[in-house]
């Protein structure tokens, strides 16, 4: 069953993320393309458009031994990994991103962080999501995809957050 297969990140032709996700779906693969809304200005109007949270990447579930049909797609550049070996994305990282997309909270791309306090959301629509907290004017939870070295920032209510060491002790 495809739900048991690991997630992989596909590097795709710039601005072809949506087309790649649709092509994967048409071939029977499970795809995931996290998006966010941004306001774009043209000479005659301002419009909200949906753009990928991770430009140039699409996530998909597949058997890495059977990746040739995916690599033969014209918009797919490569499967990310170590050397020539595809590296799966940890399930909790994809689950957290999917939960953010379903919750409808404001998520934006954010620089990848290697330091910071790891936290868990205990309340609200993102209960159970873990990430890195960055304190600025508002509390932000940073969700990272380690293999891509990319992150997404989500604004959260400070009361929803517990430090990682507190919930790990139980």
SS3 5: coil
Task: Please give the model's pTM, rounded to 2 decimal places.
Answer: 0.74
Residue 79 and residue 9 share a domain: yes
- Lowest-confidence segment of 5-14, 46-55, 131-140 by average pLDDT: 131-140
pLDDT of 111 above 80: no
Last residue of a domain, one of 68, 86, 104: 86
**pLDDT computed for residue 74 by the predictor:** 97
- Using the predicted structure, report yes or no on whether residue 157 has a pLDDT greater than 80: no
Of 62, 86, 110, the position where a domain reaches its end is 86
Per the document, the length of the chain is 170
Residue 18 confidence (pLDDT): 97
Last residue of a domain, which of 67, 86, 105? 86
- One domain for residues 69 and 126: no
Tell me what the mean pLDDT of segment 5-10 comes to. Answer: 98
- Examine the domain organization and report whether 31 and 47 are in the same domain: yes
| Average pLDDT of the segment spanning 145-149 | 90
Q: Token pair 């999917």 is at which residue?
A: 98
Give the pLDDT score at 93: 94
The mean pLDDT value of the chain amounts to 85
Looking at the 3D structure of the chain, how many domains does it have? 2
Identify the H or E element spanning 97. Answer: helix 91-103
Please give the DSSP secondary-structure letter assigned to residue 149. Answer: T
Q: Are residues 9 and 82 in the same domain?
A: yes
CATH number of the domain that 112 lies in? 2.30.30
- List the domain range (segments joined by +) for residue 75: 2-86
């Amino acid at each position: 069953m495809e739900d048991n297969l690991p997630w992989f990140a596909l590097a795709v032709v710039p601005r072809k993320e949506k087309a790649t996700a649709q092509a994967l779906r048409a071939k029977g693969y499970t795809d995931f393309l996290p998006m966010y809304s941004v306001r774009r200005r043209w000479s005659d109007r301002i419009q909200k458009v949906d753009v990928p949270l991770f430009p140039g990447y699409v996530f998909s579930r597949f058997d890495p031994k059977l990746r040739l049909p995916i690599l033969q797609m014209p918009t797919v550049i490569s499967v990310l990994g170590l050397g020539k070996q595809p590296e799966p994305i940890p399930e909790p990282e994809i689950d957290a991103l999917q939960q953010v997309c379903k919750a409808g909270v404001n998520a934006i791309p954010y620089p990848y962080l290697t330091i910071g306090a790891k936290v868990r959301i205990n309340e609200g629509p993102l209960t159970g999501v873990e990430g890195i907290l960055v304190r600025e004017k508002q509390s932000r939870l940073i969700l990272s995809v380690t293999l891509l070295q990319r992150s997404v920032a989500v604004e959260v209510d400070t009361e929803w957050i517990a430090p990682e060491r507190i919930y790990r002790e139980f």
